[in-house]
Amino acid sequence: MSSKFIPINLPIIGSDEVKAVKAVLESNTLTEKRNMGPETLKFEEAFANYIGVKHAIAVNSGSAALHACLLALDLKKDQEVIVPTFSFVASASMVIHAGARVKFADVNPMTFNLDVDNVKKVISDKTRAIMPVHLYGHPVNMDPILELAEKKDIAVIEDACQAHGAEYKGKKVGSLGNAGCFSFYPSKNMTTGEGGMITTNDGELADVIRQIRNHGESENYLTTRLGHNFRMSEIIAAIGTVQLKRLDDFIKVRTQNADYLTKIINEIEKRPYNPPIVEAHVKHSWYLYTVKFEEVEKRDPFIVYMQKNNIGTGVYYSTPLHLMPLYRELYDLGPGSFPVSEYATRQVLSIPINPSISKSQMEFIGETIKNFPIEKV
């Protein structure tokens, strides 16, 4: 058993982040209202350059990023946004906060990402936007979704909150749709504690989102549309600029650890699960390394076994969104509505590969996985 518990994810904060925060505190500029402070502007420019877009708008959470993008679409109460039901709840709840209806869609059974065939089943003349979620850091197959959206004249908002640095056909996620949304929560590939970012090449959309970020003001104390206080503080931005410089190194280690686990798993005969699929046209950012149990009854014993060895695991996600009490009541959906997502909740399990894990710890994780007593379960 490992002498130290190995978590799924752990923020890595070093002396450079501490220095950056200290400099902000000493400057006495903790936030700026409308035009944002120098650290926030610096972070926005660096993030836009990294993603390869013209505009990046810093906000105070990934949820705020999604909310602001949806508010910018001026959605009406009878309009719908297509969202995968196998995702974190913010993907759906922000649609309701923006005043529209959620239209759930099922996912691809291999990658657990939104699939265009499922989108086609639920799209209608009420559809205003599609929100593909780059789940676990694996990009959605975007081309058919973008083609469908263009044909129907609807927006595509990428939920890239789990996919910092991931690429689809050589382009960073967050640069593919009308806008992309990122989260900097502590578990993410890069963190600012809390915080988010919106990326876009649409200057008009960027201007609207900047207004929404600051109470809908077009100029100081002149509100022209409904907005929120979604502003990012200077402390958060200073941490973000440092973390962004480290992001590619973080992803490199995650990828090495993921490759190592995949090699170990592929060597195990009669295993009850399979390693994650990585499609040929993508670069996975490995926010989560998620195996798929074909023998679902063996997942819980595996979790207990790993816990006994001080290795954390996680089920992302244990309940599809359409079966959560809120959405069952709102949309009268029950079991069987989206069978792939419902089965996925029984299949998926994430195993640690985060860059805080040492080589010896990764080897321990590999040996522990190898020694799982499959026949006795």
Q: What is the pLDDT of residue 2?
A: 64
The reply to whether 38 falls in a domain is yes
> Same domain, yes or no, for 335 and 201?
no
pLDDT band at 123 (very low <50, low <70, confident <90, very high): very high
Q: Note the pLDDT of residue 326.
A: 96
Q: Which of 211, 242, 273 is the last residue of a domain?
A: 242
- pLDDT of 245-271, one tens digit each? 999 999 999 999 999 999 999 999 999
Same domain, 174 and 311: no
**Do β-strands 348-351 and 289-293 pair in parallel, antiparallel, or remain unpaired?**
antiparallel
Cis omega (within 30 of 0) on the bond before 50?
no
Q: Assess whether pLDDT exceeds 80 at residue 160.
A: yes
Place of tokens 């060597």: 267
Q: Indicate which CATH number applies to the domain containing 208.
A: 3.40.640.10
CB 146 within 8 A of CB 177: yes
Q: 347: buried, middle or exposed (CB in 10 Å: 19+, 13-18, 0-12)?
A: buried
Q: Is the pLDDT confidence value at 33 over 80?
A: no
In this structure, the answer to whether residues 293 and 176 fall within a common structural domain is: no
Residue 376, pLDDT above cutoff 90: no
What pLDDT does residue 220 have?
Answer: 87
Q: Are residues 111 and 223 in the same domain?
A: yes
Residue 238 and residue 252 in one domain = no
The yes-or-no verdict on residue 375 having pLDDT over 80 is no
Domain count, the chain: 2
pLDDT for position 374: 82
Q: Are residues 102 and 207 in the same domain?
A: yes
Last residue of a domain, one of 242, 274, 305: 242
Is residue 4 in some structural domain? Answer: no
The full length of the chain comes to 377
Q: Is the pLDDT of residue 3 over 90?
A: no
Query: What tokens does 193 get?
Result: 């504690």
Burial letters for 10-28: b for 16+ Cβ neighbours within 10 Å, e otherwise? bbbbeeebeebbeebeeee
* Rounded average pLDDT over 96-109: 98
Q: Do 260 and 237 share a structural domain?
A: no
Residue 159, domain member (yes or no): yes
Asked, for residue 184, whether it belongs to a domain, the answer is yes
Q: Are residues 69 and 168 in the same domain?
A: yes
285 in the same domain as 336: yes
* Res 35: pLDDT: 78
69-87 tens-digit pLDDT: 999 999 999 999 999 999 9
Residue 1 belongs to a domain: no
216 and 293 both lie in a single domain: no
Token duo for residue 255: 């990828």
Write out pLDDT tens, residues 303-327.
999 999 999 999 999 999 999 999 9
Find the domain containing 344 and state its range.
Answer: 247-376
236 with 348, same domain: the answer is no
Do residues 196 and 151 share a domain?
A: yes
| Residue in the structure block whose two tokens are 């079991």 | 335
**Rounded to two decimals, what is the model's pTM?**
0.97
Name the amino acid, one letter, at 284: H
pLDDT score, position 32: 84
Domain boundary among 242, 265, 286: 242
d(Cα 8, Cα 176) in Å, to the nearest integer? 29
Give the model's confidence band at 219: pLDDT under 50 very low, under 70 low, under 90 confident, else very high.
confident
- Categorize the per-residue pLDDT at 302 as very low, low, confident or very high, splitting at 50, 70 and 90: very high
